[in-house]
Amino acid sequence: MNYTLNQLRIYQKVVQTNSITKAAEELHLTQPAVSIQLKNFQEQFEVPLIEIINRRIFVTDFGKEIASAAEKILSEVHAINYMMQAHKGLLTGKLKFSIVSTAKYVAPFFIVDFIKQHQSVELLLDVKNKAQVMNSLERNAVDFSLVSVLPTNLNIEKMGLMQNKLFVVGNTDEPFTKKKYDKRIFENMPLIYREQGSGTRHVMENFILENNLPVTKKMELTTNEAVKQAVIAGLGYSIMPLIGIKNELLNRQLQIIPVEGFPIISTWYLIWLKDKKLTPLASAYLKYIEKEKDNIIKNKFNWFEEY
């Protein structure tokens, strides 16, 4: 056999994504290049690794064993690279995060200076909904996750980063002049929801249920940005995290509607699997966050306390 590390990486990514197209996108390669390398890799085995049926990829049992072996080999290669860099006194490796979609307004500020300090560190920041983030964490595919709703079915360690505030928001077509509105306002306020599996959706539905609110569901959209644009257009109202609507509030595209019981306040948590053996890089990042998180909040999120 004469397979290459590049072929192992490509094969592992195809197995992970169940798609040649998605694998090519994530590896920043063309689809033909991935297909050629996958074919060359397969030709070194007498037993099929994958089967393509009705344009869908199915990994064979043997293929799963090879994928597992490939993951171990690539992990050892990363370890060798790390040891070489560590010997030179450099912190290096890949720091992997999976974060919920609204955390994209938070996470970069808690990462950027650490990455600038350690130029040899590679960052993987995967943005998904809450259910997908929990899946990545459970599979031990990432070092850390950033969420505002803690999982109940996983043994985790956690570190609180900062507050998360959710408000009732609408566009600015209609004035809301009262200092505070009764919750009965929801009787005439069609709400736009995030999709099932979203952390924002989870918090929103729990609040509605606990308070027995008379809400009308207007529509369901799959991203925070889509919800935001629908509200701006006047298609309805929503309950949204403050962290994601700063510019729209300043530009007067959106307004916060003062309703009793709001804001809903939770916490952004950095979480990782309990008993996980953290890499030296991941451990260094935790120490950095413990030391710097208050300064980051003060310098980057001082506007947050105004609401």
User: Which range of residues forms the domain containing residue 217?
Assistant: 163-266
Write out residues in the chain with pLDDT < 70, as ranges.
79, 81-90
Give this prediction's pTM: 0.69
Same domain, 127 and 170: no
Residues 70, 102, single domain; the answer is no
Produce one character per residue of 252-288: b if its CB has 16 or more CB atoms within 10 Å, e if not: ebbbbbbbeebbbebebbbbbbeeeeebebbebbbeb
Same domain, 173 and 249: yes
Residues 105 and 145 reside in one and the same domain: yes
The CATH number of residue 10's host domain is 1.10.10.10
Q: What does the pLDDT read at residue 74?
A: 83
Mark which of 84, 119, 150 sits at the end of a domain: 84
How many whole angstroms separate alpha carbon 175 and alpha carbon 189? 14
- Position 218 scores a pLDDT of 79
- 3 state SS of 228: helix
Q: What is the CATH number of the domain that holds 147?
A: 3.40.190.10
Domain final position from 68, 84, 100: 84
Given 49, 69, 84, the domain boundary residue is 84
- Look at the chain and report how many structural domains it folds into: 3
Predicted local confidence at residue 87, as pLDDT: 54
Instruction: Measure the CA angle with vertex 214, ends 222 and 185; round to 5°.
Output: 95
pLDDT at position 262, please?
Answer: 93
Cβ distance 260 to 207 under 8 Å? no
Q: How many CB atoms lie within 10 A of CB 127?
A: 17
Q: Please give the Cα distance from 59 to 165 (Å, whole number).
A: 43
Clarify whether residues 180 and 254 are in a common domain. yes
pLDDT at 274 (0 to 100): 92
262 contacts 166 by C-beta, under 8 angstroms: yes
Q: What is the pLDDT of residue 216?
A: 81
Q: Output the six-digit token pair for 275.
A: 């008993």
